[in-house]
């Protein structure tokens, strides 16, 4: 057993395998998963685990270059948007023009991590960087 860090073995494996510019998606429980993209399902019940909790833990264990969201997040889910701004103040931000464009971008991801989140537009794409 690891001393700490990411205990979910599926997420730990994905993070260990990421290369520069690879992406992963963390989404609410309603985000569709594109065909061929593996899903890591963490959803237990509505709201659990929360999107913010999962993103926060993944961010502790991933070198992140860019974050990508749908344009609707800021207006339709300001609490989650503010949490993401606080969590990623130094990363480059990509704001897709709408949720459909965001969903198109998820097709290139190494995986989608599904949370129990039930608030609108609580979805993010994390772009991997290198630590050196």
**Residue 20 annotated among the catalytic residues of the structure:** yes
Residue among 13, 20, 107, 108 flagged as catalytic: 20
Closest residue by Cα to residue 119 from 69, 65, 52, 63: 52
Active site (catalytic) residues: 20
């Amino acid at each position: 057993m690891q001393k700490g860090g990411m205990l979910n073995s599926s997420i730990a494996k994905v993070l260990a395998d990421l290369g520069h510019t690879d992406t992963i998606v963390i989404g609410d429980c309603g985000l569709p998963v594109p065909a061929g993209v593996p899903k890591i399902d963490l959803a237990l019940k509505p709201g659990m685990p929360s999107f913010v909790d999962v993103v926060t833990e993944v961010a502790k264990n991933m070198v992140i270059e860019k974050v990508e969201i749908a344009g609707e997040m800021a207006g339709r889910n300001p609490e989650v948007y503010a949490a993401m701004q606080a969590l990623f103040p130094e990363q480059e931000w990509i704001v897709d023009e709408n949720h459909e464009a965001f969903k198109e971008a998820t097709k290139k991801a190494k995986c989608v991590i599904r949370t129990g989140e039930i608030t609108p537009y609580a979805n993010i794409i994390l772009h991997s960087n290198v630590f050196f």
